[in-house]
Amino acid sequence: MLRYLPFLLILALTIYAFIDCLNTPEEDVKHLPKVVWVIIILLFSIVGPVVWLFAGKKRSAVGGGGRGGRGRTQWVAPDDNPEFLKSLRDEQENKDRKDEKDKGQDQD
């Protein structure tokens, strides 16, 4: 079983690099077109994935705030998110108005 481990690791690395390359937006791919990177990853089983991981993609620093200000924003807890709190207030006000309206109709 242990003799298969290197082959499994190489296969796992190749699959990871292949999927990572396919999921990377075209503008984040460096040096070569994305199609060429896919071919390199699949043809050169050890070297291709390693080169892709180190040189093929623009990588952001850990904790750098995501993708340079575009795309995703930093996650905010619901109790600190003003938009979420506003939606809760609006929802409660709508519910109160509906309850008052229903109460007024019941009295008629």
Contact 28, 58 (CB under 8 A): yes
- Is this model's pTM higher than 0.85 or not? no
Q: Provide the CA 44 distance to its chain's centre, in angstroms.
A: 28
pLDDT at 39: 92
**pLDDT digit string, tens, across residues 36-90:** 999 999 998 889 999 988 888 777 665 544 444 455 567 777 777 888 889 999 9
pLDDT at 80: 78
Q: What are phi and psi of 93, to 5 degrees?
A: -65, -40
pLDDT at 66: 47
Give start and end residues of each alpha helix (H) in 2-108.
5-23, 34-43, 47-55, 82-107
How far apart, in whole angstroms, are the C-alpha atoms of residue 34 and residue 56?
9
pLDDT at 102: 80
pLDDT at 108: 57
- At 11 the three-state DSSP class reads helix
